Structure 1
Amino acid sequence: MKLKTSLLALLLAAPLALLARDDAVRADAPSAQALPSAPTADQSTAARLVHGLLSDSQYAYRPRVLDDALSQDVYRRYLEALDPSKQFFTAADIARLDAYRTQLDDAIKSGELEPAYAIFSLFKQRVEERVAFARALLKQDIFTFDGDDRFEYDREDAPWAADAAALDVLWKQSVRNDWLRLKLAGKKEEEIARTLDKRYANLGRSIAELKGEDVFQTFLNSYANAIDPHTDYLTPRSADNFNMSMSLSLEGIGAVLQRQDDVVAIREIVPGGPASKTGKLKPGDRVVAVGQGENGPMEDVIGWRIDDVVAKIRGAKGTKVRLDVIPAEMGLDSKPTRVVIVRDRVRLEDQAAKSEIHTIPGTDGEPPLRIGVIKLPGFYQDFEGRRKNSADYASATRDVARLLTRLRAEKVDGVVLDLRNNGGGSLAEAIELTGLFIDRGPVVQVRESGGRVVVNGDDDPGVAWDGPLAVLINRGSASASEIFAGAIQDYGRGLVIGETSFGKGTVQNLVDLDRWPANEDPRFGQVKLTIAQFFRVSGSSTQNKGVEPDIAFPVSVDASEYGESTFDNALPWTRISPVPHTRYGNFAPLVPRLQSMHANRVANDKEFQWWKEDVAEFRAERAKKWVTLNEAERRAERDRDDAKRKQRQAERKALGLALDPLAEELYDDGLAANERDIAKDAEREKLAEKRPDPLLRESAAILADAIRLLHADRQLSAQVLPRGEARHWAQ
C-alpha cells in the first residue's frame, strides 16, 4: 500500500469537499470539452519549466538528468498511474506502447507531449471496451457461485494479461465478485443488475469525459514522482485546492459536496458557515443550477464535474451565489427551491485539533488520574493569513496552545498528543508545536541540496505545558509528525507510544511556475518540490526508518506494505552530527516496568484483544490477495463476522463498556460510496468517530502508569528525570 493514488482511483473517490479534486463530467454538460490529442501552449511551457526545476541542483534536492533511462522510468510510472491493477492494457498493448519508452524525455524537454496523449488515447479506448464487456456480462447466466473460483483483486505485481481473452477472464471474475457482494447484502437480482450497470457506465463516462489538464497533470506527475516519491506537479486548480487544505479555510458557502450519478449533492453542512445559517439546506439535497450575484443567469449544472460545480459555488467573501436545490426526499424532476447565500470565510473545524479528557481509574486505593488527549490530524497553517498577520489565521500550534490552556484549567494530570495518521504539513508548525513543550532549543536539522545544514529551533522562552506528556503515533504518522515525535523523544520530554512511523524525512516547498513569466493570473501551475532532508537533533534521519516508539503496540500494517520503504526511489537512511540540546529526562529505566504493566493490562482488556484479533485477520486477508467466489463460503464468513460483532456488543453491555455505534451495520453492503444514501452515509462517518478506541485509552493508561511510578519511587524518578524542568512528572 502506498500514498500515491492512480488517476482512476481519484476519479472514483467518494465524498469530495469544496476543496476537492476532480470527478466525472457528462458529455453534454456545458463544462465538458473534447479531450485534445496535444497539449495547450501553456501546458507545453509548463512542461519545460518543470524540467528546468527538476534537473537543476539549485532547486531540487536530488536532481536527475532527463535522459532515456529516466524516460523509461517515467513511462513505467505513467502506465501505473493509468492502469495500476493491470485491468485494461494487455501485454500486446504494452509491446505496442514500448515505442514511447525512450521518447518521453524529448517530449518533456520540448513541450511536445503528443506521446502522453497517444498513450492515454489507447487507455481510453480499452476502458470503453472493458466497460462494454462488463455491462454485457450482466445479461449472461454466469452468476452461480458454487465452485472453487476465486477473484484475485491485487494485481499490482501480476504480469499484463496476454490478450483481450485473458482480460475477459479477469473481468468476468471481477463482475461476479461485485454481484456476489450485493447478493450477500440482500439485494435482488434486478436491483443488482441495475446497480452494476450504472456503476460500470459511470466508470466509462468518468474516463471518456476527462479534460486535457487531467491527462497533463497525471503525465507530469509521472515525471515528478520519478525524481522522488514526494515531488508532484499541480495544475493551477489543484494548487489552489492544496493551499486551501493547508490553511483549513476557504471562501464559499461552507458545504461538503459529493457527486452522485448526474448531480452534485450536499453531503455535509459546515456548522456556523453560510449554508448552515440559511437553515434551508441539508445533506442529500441536490444542486441543479448555480447563479452569480443578485441577477446573474442560472446555469444548469446537472452532469457537470464536481470541481466545475465547486468553482461556480466558491467565491469571494461578501458576494452572493444562488442555488437551485431539489430536496433529498423529492424526485429529480421536481421543481427546485432557490436558495440565496452570501459567501464568507469558512473554517474547516472538523480537520482542526480537538481535545477530550480520559479518566484512568486508580488501583489499591490510588485516586483516578485525568489525562487530556489532543487529536491533531495535520500540521496546518494559513500561510497567507500569517503573512498578513491576521488575528484568526489557522495554525496547528495556536490551536493546540489554546487546548492546552483549557486542559490546564481542567487540572489534567498529563497530556497525550494523538498524531496517528497525521501525514504532516508545515515544517514551521512542527517546530513551533515542539516549542510548546520545550523551553528554547534546536528542533530539527535541515540539510539543503548543496550540503549546508541549517538548525531550526524554538527561540521563545517558556512552555505551554511542562507536565507529563506522551505522543501516540502509527505508520500513518509522517513528516512533520516525525519531526515533532523525534524531538520529544530526543529531548526526553515525553514518551512515544504506538507503531514505528512512516519514515518520510524530506522537506518540500511549493514553487510557483508563474513566478518567472510573472503572470497576473495562474497559468502554469506549481511544483511541490523536495528541497531538503531533515534530521533529528540527535543526528539521525527519520528517512525510511521512521521514529521508533518507546512503548510499541502490535504492528497494524507491515513496513513492506506501507511507508517510505515501499517507494523504489526513496532516499536512503543516513545520519549527520548531533547538535547540543537539553535532555529533560531519560525514560530507559522506566520503560521495562511500563511495558510489563502494559502487557498485564491489555491481556485482560477485551477491546484491545479484539483489536489485535482484527489486525491479525486483516493482515492475513491482505496476504492472500484473493477472495473466494463460493457463495456458501462467503456467506459463512459474513455470518461469522456478524456473529462476532453482535457477541462483542453483548460483552460490551455486560462489562459496562462503551457500545460500538456501528455494531448493527452491514459488514459489507456491496455498494460504492456514490451509490449509498448520502445523508445516512455521512451519519455513519460521524458515528465511526465515536467508536471505542482501545489504543488511545491504553496510551492514556501508560502515561498514567508513568506518572504514578515516578510519584511513588523517588529513586526511579531521580534516574528518569534528573533535571528540575521536568519536576511536574513526579508531583
Structure 2
Amino acid sequence: MKKILIHWIGVFSLLAFSTAAFAVAKEVPVDALVPDNIQRQTALIVNRVLERYHYRKVVLDNKLSEKILDRYLESLDPNKSFFTQQDIDTFAKYRYKLDDAIASGKLEPAFDIFRKYRMRVDQRVALPLSLLEKNKFDFTRDETYRFDREDAPWAKDKKEISDQWRKRVKNDILGLSLAGKDEKKIRETLEKRYKTLRRRIHQLDADSVFQTFINAYTLSIEPHTAYMSPERSENFDISMRLSLQGIGAVLRSDDEYTTVQKVVPGGPADKSGQLHAGDRIVGVAQGKDGEMLDIVGWPLQDVVEKIRGKKDTLVRLNVLPKAAGMDAPTRIVSIVRDKIKLEDQAAKSSIIEADGMRFGVIDVPAFYRDFRGQASGNKDFRSTTRDVRKLIAKLQKQKVDGIIVDLRNNGGGSLTEATELTGLFIPFGPVVQVKDSQGHIDVERDTDPEEVYSGPLAVLVNRNSASASEIFAAAIQDYGRGLIVGEPTFGKGTVQSLVDLSQFARGKDDLGRLRLTIAQFFRVQGGSTQHKGVVPDVIFPTADGSGKHGERSLDNALPWAEIKPAEYHPEGQLHLSMLQSKHEKRVGHDLAFRFLTEQNQEINKLQDKKEVSLLESERKKEWQEREQRALERHNKLRALRGLEPLTKLDDEEEDDTDTEEDPEGINRIMQEETARILADY
C-alpha cells in the first residue's frame, strides 16, 4: 500500500480550514469557468482516497449526492442572499447526478451552477447600488431585517429577494449611522462594500470553483476533511510558518464577515484583552492615523494580509464584539504586532487560597513540544511536560494543599505531550487508545513508573478544551486520579493527516492535498472523547446544554462510539455525591460566578437572535439597555474586587494597566471556585 501520509498532524486543534476559496488578482471571464483535465483527474483521486482511507466508510451514491448538492449551494450562498427557490428548483436535475459527476470526473454540473450563481450576484448587487443613489430610508417605520437566514427558506421569487436586499441596505445604513458616520461617508462605504462583493465573486477562477465543489463532497462526509488546491496548500504552508507572528488570532470566514475563531495564548491579541473568540472584524487600519478600510465581503486571505505585519507596528481593528450583538455599534481595538514567543505560551503557575488552604494553579494553554530542538540534540528542549514538572516542584516547595491544572481554551497540540503529562500524575499504564480506518487499535502508554505528584488534583476544563486536553482530562478521570471540573469539553476525538494527492498521479502536476480524518481516539475505559467530549465530575452553571457549540454542533460529525477497555488499574472511585450540591449552593450566592452566568445568558440570547429592528429609536433603546446591563454586571464585580465603579464600559480599557491585564479578575472566577471544590473534597 502506498504511504499516503506526508504529515502526522496528531491531535489537530481548533484551527479549521475555511471552505471559501482564495481569490486571484484579476477578474475571470465567465467563459473561463470550465473544468480542466487536472481537476477531473484530481476529483477521481480524491474519491479513491476517501473511499479507501477515510475513517468513516464512504459510499458515493445518490444519497450522498443529495447532501453534496445542498452543501454546495450552502457554500456558495450561505445566507440565502442570491438564489431564489425558483433557482433551487432548476438545480433539482443535478440532485442524483453529482455522485456520477465526481466518480467519472465530469464536473460540468458544478460549473453550471457556479455560472448561474455569478449571474445572480451581479443582479442582486445592482439593486443596493441603485438604492444608494436615489433612495431615502424612513427609520421611523416599524419593520425588521433578518440578518441570519441560514435556517430560513429561500426567497420564493425575485420580488421577495429584492425586498430582503432593500432591508439589508437599510440595516447597513442604520448600523453605520449609529456608529457615528455621516451620510456621505456611509454611502461611500456601502458602495465600496457592495462593489467589492461583486468583484470578489468575479475573481474566483476555475480552481476556486473546483475546490468549493470538492469540499462540498468532503464536508458531506465529515467536518474535518477538506481539499486544498495547490495554491491553497502553499498558503497553508506559509500560514503555518508565520502562525506565531502578527496579532496572534486564528480567523475564519463567516458569510461576508471575518470572525475570530481563536485567540492564541500569549499573543498580542490575548495580552491586550480586547479581542475574543466570536468577535467579528469589519474594518482594518494601519498605524494610529491610517484609513479604516471596510473589509466586509473581503476574501479571508486579503483580510489576513492587512492584519499581518511587521513586529512592533500598530494595527487598528473595527470590531463587532460577540457580547454586543449584530445590531450594536462597533469598537476600535488597537494591537501592536509581535512575534509570539514559546515562553509566552508556556505553562505558568500561581497560588489561590480557599477555605484556609493554598492551592497551586498550573495554567497550560497548549500541549507544545520543541520538535526542532529535540531533533537537533538539544537536551534542554522545551515541552509542556518538562515545564509542568518544574512548576510542580516549585509549588510543592511552597507547600500547597493541592494542584489545579487549568486547561480552559486549550485546543490541543502534541499527542506525545498529552501522554507524558498524564504520566506525571499516574504511576504507569495506558493513556489513550487510537483506532484507525482499518480497525487496528494502538495504545499510547505512560511507561515511566515515577508519579511526580500524587496529592489532591483538579483539572479545570471548558467548552473550548479540545483534542489533547480531552485525552489528558479523560485519563485523569478514568484513573480516578483527580476531579474534572467546569464545562463539557469540545468533543474533537479524531485524528487528521495531510495526503499529497500528486503521488497517486502519473504526471508531475501538483494536485494539491487532502486533509483526511484517519483515526479516532478512545479513552482507556473504552468510550470515545468524540462528540460528547469529557463530562466533568462537577459541572458549572455556565455549561451550554444547547448543543450549539463544539463537535456536536458540526454537520456530519462522527458519533460517539465505544471499544473494549484497555487493561488499566484505576486508583479508586472518587466520592462525588456532595461536591455538586455544595458547588451549586455556593455559586447561587457568589457574585463573581453570577457575573459569569449572567454574561453567558446574555451572549446566548444574542446568538439566538436572527433579526433586528429597523426602527432607529428601538435599535438605540435595545443597545443602551444591553450596555446598561453589562455596566451593572461589571460594577458589581468591581465592587467585590475593591475597584472603583465605571461610568461607562469604555472606561474599563483605560483602567487596564501593563501590570494588570485582568483587573476585575474575570479569569480567576472559575479557578477560585475550583479551589473551593478541591477544598470540599
TM-score range, shorter chain: 0.7 to 0.9
Where does residue 583 of structure 1 map in the other structure? 570
Distance 2:31 2:358 in 1: 62
Deviations 1:396-446 (A, max 9, x none): 545555655665566655443333343434434432332233232111122
Where does residue 623 of structure 1 map in the other structure? 608
Question: 8 Å contact 1:35–1:210 — kept in the other structure?
Answer: no
Sort the Cα spacing of 1:478 and 1:654 in 2 relative to 1 into closer, same or farther, 3 A: closer
Task: Tell me the percent identity.
Answer: 42
How many angstroms does 1:214 deviate by? 2.9
Deviations 1:104-161 (A, max 9, x none): 2233233343332332222222223222222322334453233331122232222211
Where does residue 43 of structure 2 map in the other structure? 47
How many angstroms does 1:538 deviate by? 1.0
Distance 1:693 1:372 in 2: 15
Deviations 1:67-90 (A, max 9, x none): 333222211111111112211111
Given the two structures, how large is their TM-score scaled by the length of structure 1? 0.72
Q: Which residue, out of 108, 112, 129, partners 1:114?
A: 108
**Residue 572, structure 1, aligned to residue 559, structure 2:** yes
Where does residue 298 of structure 1 map in the other structure? none
How many angstroms does 1:49 deviate by? 1.6
Deviations 1:475-507 (A, max 9, x none): 333333322211111111221112222333333
Sort the Cα spacing of 1:181 and 1:309 in 2 relative to 1 into closer, same or farther, 3 A: closer
Give 1:373's aligned amino acid. Answer: I
Q: Which residue, out of 372, 390, 393, partners 2:361?
A: 372
Q: Secondary structure at the match of 1:489?
A: helix
Q: Secondary structure at the match of 1:154?
A: coil
How many angstroms does 1:552 deviate by? 0.7
Alignment coverage as a number of residue pairs: 614
Give 1:99's aligned amino acid. Answer: K
Where does residue 3 of structure 2 map in the other structure? none
Q: Secondary structure at the match of 2:66?
A: helix
Q: Which residue, out of 126, 138, 144, partners 2:138?
A: 144
How many angstroms does 1:171 deviate by? 1.8
**Residue 562, structure 1, aligned to residue 556, structure 2:** no
Alignment of structure 1 residues 605-620 onto 2, 5 Å = 605-620=590-605
Sort the Cα spacing of 1:503 and 1:651 in 2 relative to 1 into closer, same or farther, 3 A: closer
Q: Secondary structure at the match of 1:139?
A: helix
Question: 8 Å contact 1:652–1:659 — kept in the other structure?
Answer: no
**Residue 27, structure 1, aligned to residue 26, structure 2:** yes
Deviations 1:148-185 (A, max 9, x none): 31122232222211122111122222222222222233
Name the stretch that deviates more: 87-96 or 652-661. 652-661
Distance 1:661 1:241 in 2: 44
Distance 1:519 1:458 in 2: 45
Question: 8 Å contact 1:353–1:400 — kept in the other structure?
Answer: no
Deviations 1:595-633 (A, max 9, x none): 344334323332321221222233334434222222222
Give 2:33's aligned amino acid. Answer: S
Name the stretch that deviates more: 493-502 or 612-621. 612-621
Q: Secondary structure at the match of 1:443?
A: strand
Given the two structures, how large is their TM-score scaled by the length of structure 2? 0.76
Sort the Cα spacing of 1:513 and 1:404 in 2 relative to 1 into closer, same or farther, 3 A: farther
Where does residue 231 of structure 1 map in the other structure? 225
Where does residue 355 of structure 1 map in the other structure? 348
Distance 1:495 1:350 in 2: 28
| Alpha-carbon RMSD | 4.6
Where does residue 698 of structure 1 map in the other structure? 670
Q: Tell me, which stretches of 5 or more residues in structure 1 are unaligned?
A: 12-21, 260-266, 273-281, 289-303, 315-321, 330-344, 668-679, 711-731
Q: Secondary structure at the match of 1:87?
A: coil
Q: Which residue, out of 624, 644, 659, partners 1:639?
A: 624
**Residue 505, structure 1, aligned to residue 498, structure 2:** no
Where does residue 517 of structure 2 map in the other structure? 530
Give 2:464's aligned amino acid. Answer: G
Q: Secondary structure at the match of 2:352?
A: strand
Q: Secondary structure at the match of 2:220?
A: helix
Name the stretch that deviates more: 630-639 or 126-135. 126-135
Question: 8 Å contact 1:90–1:160 — kept in the other structure?
Answer: yes
Where does residue 120 of structure 2 map in the other structure? 126
Question: 8 Å contact 1:47–1:111 — kept in the other structure?
Answer: yes
Alignment of structure 1 residues 449-468 onto 2, 5 Å = 449-468=437-456
Alignment of structure 1 residues 392-541 onto 2, 5 Å = 396-397=384-385, 400-401=388-389, 404=392, 413-517=401-505, 523-541=510-528
Question: 8 Å contact 1:660–1:691 — kept in the other structure?
Answer: no
Give 2:286's aligned amino acid. Answer: G
Q: Which residue, out of 152, 157, 166, partners 1:158?
A: 152
Distance 1:447 1:219 in 2: 30
Question: 8 Å contact 1:149–1:629 — kept in the other structure?
Answer: yes
Sort the Cα spacing of 1:419 and 1:387 in 2 relative to 1 into closer, same or farther, 3 A: same
Question: 8 Å contact 2:427–2:449 — kept in the other structure?
Answer: yes
Name the stretch that deviates more: 162-171 or 127-136. 127-136
Distance 1:196 1:183 in 2: 12
Give 2:410's aligned amino acid. Answer: N
Q: Secondary structure at the match of 2:133?
A: coil
Give 1:511's aligned amino acid. Answer: V
Give 1:647's aligned amino acid. Answer: E
Q: Tell me, which stretches of 5 or more residues in structure 2 are unaligned?
A: 1-13, 253-262, 269-283, 291-297, 317-337
**Residue 197, structure 1, aligned to residue 197, structure 2:** no
Distance 1:346 1:491 in 2: 39
Where does residue 175 of structure 2 map in the other structure? 181
Give 1:170's aligned amino acid. Answer: Q
Where does residue 300 of structure 1 map in the other structure? none
Distance 1:65 1:692 in 2: 54
Give 2:460's aligned amino acid. Answer: L
Where does residue 73 of structure 2 map in the other structure? 79
Distance 2:604 2:25 in 1: 39
Q: Secondary structure at the match of 1:497?
A: strand
